[in-house]
Amino acid sequence: MLSILLFLLACNSETGVEGEKDPSEGTTDTGTIDPTRYDSDHDGTADAYDCEPLNFKIHPNATEKCDGIDNNCDGDTDEGDWDGDGDGYDDLTACYLVGGDLDCNDANPDVHPGADDICDGIDNDCDAGTDEADLDVDGSPSCEDCDDGDPFTFPGAAEACDNLDNDCDGDIDEVWDFDGDGYSECGGDCDEDNPDINPSMGDICDGIDNDCSGRADDSWDTDGDGIAFCVGDCEEGDPAIFPGAPEICNGLDDDCDPVTDEDVDADGDGATICDGDCNDDEEDSFPANVESCDKKDNDCNGYFDEDPTCWSCTDNSGYRICTSTATWDDASQACEGMGGYLVIIDDQTEGDTLKTLVTTESWIGLSDVLVEGDWEWLNGDPLGAYDPWAPNEPDGDDAVNCVMVNSARLGMWGDERCSSRSSFICEM
Is the Cβ–Cβ distance between 400 and 328 less than 8 Å? no
- Has residue 388 got a pLDDT over 90? yes
- Tell me whether residue 286 is in a domain: no
The CATH number assigned to the domain holding 315 equals 3.10.100.10
Q: How far apart are CA 73 and CA 177, in angstroms?
A: 76
- Residue 408: the pLDDT is 66
Instruction: Tell whether 114 is covered by a domain.
Output: no
319 sits in which H/E element: strand 319-326
- The arithmetic mean of pLDDT across residues 160-176, rounded, is 83
Q: What is the pTM (predicted TM-score) of this model?
A: 0.44
Domain membership of residue 326 (yes or no) is yes
What average pLDDT does the segment 349-353 reach?
92
Cα–Cα distance measured from residue 247 to residue 168, given in angstroms and rounded to the nearest whole number: 59
Angle at 337 between CA 428 and CA 415, to 5 degrees: 70
Considering the domain boundaries, does residue 360 fall inside one?
yes
Total domains, the chain: 2
State the pLDDT at residue 123.
79
pLDDT digits (tens, 9 = 90+) for 115-151: 877 777 687 888 776 666 777 888 788 778 888 888 9
Higher pLDDT, 320 or 182: 320
Flag whether 25 is in a domain.
Answer: yes
pLDDT of 16 reads 38
Q: What is the 3-class SS of 250-282, one letter each residue? A: CCCCCCCCCCCHHHCCCCCCCCCCCCCCCCCCC
Whole-angstrom distance, CA of residue 364 vs CA of residue 380: 14
Using alpha carbons, select from 66, 111, 58 the residue that is nearest to residue 93.
66
Taking a C-beta distance cutoff of 8 angstroms, is the pair 160, 166 a contact?
A: yes
Residue 143 near residue 134 (C-beta atoms within 8 A) = no
- Per DSSP bridges, beta strands 402-406 and 313-316 are unpaired
DSSP 83-112: -TT-SSS-BTTT-TTS-S--BS-TT-TT-S
Give 8's pLDDT tier (boundaries 50, 70, 90). very low
Long-range own/partner contacts, residues 391-399 (CB < 8 A, 24 or more apart): 394/368, 398/372
Q: Does residue 119 sit within a domain?
A: no
Q: For residues 336 and 303, give the distance between their C-alpha atoms in angstroms, rounded to a whole number.
A: 8
Is 10 part of any domain?
yes
413 domain residue, yes or no: yes
Q: Is residue 1's pLDDT more than 50?
A: no
pLDDT band at 312 (very low <50, low <70, confident <90, very high): very high
Tens-place pLDDT, residues 78-123: 777 888 888 888 888 878 766 678 888 888 898 888 887 777 768 7
- Distances in whole angstroms, Cα of residue 87 to Cα of each of 105, 108, 113, 191: 10, 8, 10, 57
Range of the domain at 406: 308-427
Residue 410 has pLDDT above 80, yes or no: no
